Amino acid sequence: MRSVSGTRIQSVDALRGAIMMLMAIDHIRDYVTRAAMQFLPTDLARTAPAIFFTRWMTHFCAPVFILTAGLAAFFWMTRGHHSKPQLSRFLVTRGIWLIFLEITLLRMIMFFQVSFYKNIVILLILWAIGLSMIALAALIYLPVRLLAGITIALIVLHNLLDGVSARSFGHAAWLWDILHQQNLFSFLGINFVIAYPVLPWIAVMAGGYCLGTTFDWDAARRQRFLLRLGFSLTAAFIVVRAINIYGDPSRWTHQRSALFTLLSFLNTTKYPPSLDFILMTLGPALVALAWLERKQFSFTNPLIVFGRVPFFYYASHMLLAHLIAVGLYFVRYGYHSFLFLPPPSMGSSGNRFPLDFGFPLWAAYLVWVAVLVLLYPVCLWFARLKQRHHTWWLSYL
């Protein structure tokens, strides 16, 4: 039987809660670990399996979070008895709000940056979610079958655009940067870096919206569908990746050992998410969603608690992780100006930091546990607040 609490669906909250908890380890790794200050975790020439998989397992977070955001939009309309125009307005206003928070509050939390003109403004996940919501506000007026077809086509075919350069669009190059190419562009004298090109993410969110229609089916039929779809996507990833011709701009190669060859196989492109990346992450996620439907969760289960307050958790865990990192570095190095700079893993020059800056990987896992333990009671309080009060502004947090 479907797990429903009021108008909320527990399996979706639990899946989102799981990836929210998992997400924190990647951000903490960026703040804390010595390896993150020196090389990318997916650099097969320098990484270790533990470092690689600490990064790789968090690849599931962005696709699942954006997919469930599309699901949440469908539920807000159908279970909240709202019209499509009401949903459209909500998506536009919430999308603008998330973009605003990305370039203000989240910049201050993540980088201790306030000024726009002295620093590069990096447009990250909230930017991608916000723009995807604004796009979905228009797409919901399409028939669901047509929207599903467009979604599938975008996910499958967008890698055909990998060879298109923003320069070919002249003065409109910035638009291609936003849609499909990581790049830097200037606007009103401010330098922006597009870290999350949004075209594939729009398709993932629209796919979540379309998937919402299956929650009008009986539970057994939906669970069979989710399992079949999840296993099919996972199998498609293995086949497409093995063929090694299309699906990702980075081909896998034979490495110095079978294990590192596997790492190369799994090392798919996230920015923007390739077909292989989306298949690799959403396939297992849908299988997990079908499995979670068969479970019952209490309101105080951490999966439900963190899954019901995603933005509140996201902002809180970033702030707490950053403050803990500053505290650890203060204990180790004493007071220095670099304590309040973004770490080298987030763009600062390594010349401004000690050569041994950072801690071993195990320290990141200890901080991760501490962050989850400290945030749990706060997030439980906020989840209960949202349950008791249905004030409109709480839906924006």
The pLDDT of residue 397 is: 73
Q: Can you tell me the distance from the alpha carbon of 32 to that of 176, in angstroms, rounded to the nearest whole number?
A: 34
Distance of CA 184 to the CA centre of its chain: 21
Rounded to the nearest integer, the mean pLDDT of the chain is 94
Name the DSSP class of 327. H
| Count of structural domains within the chain | 1
Token digits for 245?
């011709």
Q: Helix or strand or coil: residue 271? A: coil
Asked if pLDDT for residue 153 goes beyond 70, the answer is yes
- 92-101 per-position pLDDT tens digit: 999 999 999 9
Q: Can you tell me the distance from the alpha carbon of 285 to that of 14, in angstroms, rounded to the nearest whole number?
A: 12
How large is the average pLDDT for residues 297-324?
Answer: 96
Dihedral of the alpha carbons of 288, 291, 295, 301, in degrees to the nearest 10: -10
The pLDDT of residue 388 is: 85
Token digits for 135?
């796009």
Q: Which residues contact 131 (CB under 8 A, 6 or more apart)?
A: 95, 99, 178, 198, 201, 202
| H/E run at residue 391 | none
Asked if pLDDT for residue 6 goes beyond 70, the answer is no
How large is the average pLDDT for residues 100-106?
Answer: 95
Domain span including residue 370: 4-396
Q: Can you tell me the distance from the alpha carbon of 288 to that of 295, in angstroms, rounded to the nearest whole number?
A: 11
The pLDDT of residue 2 is: 39
Q: Helix or strand or coil: residue 254? A: coil
- 202-230 per-position pLDDT tens digit: 999 999 999 999 999 999 999 999 999 99
Q: Can you tell me the distance from the alpha carbon of 30 to that of 54, in angstroms, rounded to the nearest whole number?
A: 11
Select the more confidently predicted residue: 390 or 323: 323
- Prediction pTM value: 0.95
Asked if pLDDT for residue 81 goes beyond 90, the answer is no
Q: H helices of the chain, where?
A: 10-32, 34-38, 49-56, 61-78, 84-103, 105-111, 125-139, 144-157, 173-180, 199-211, 219-243, 258-266, 275-292, 302-308, 310-333, 361-388
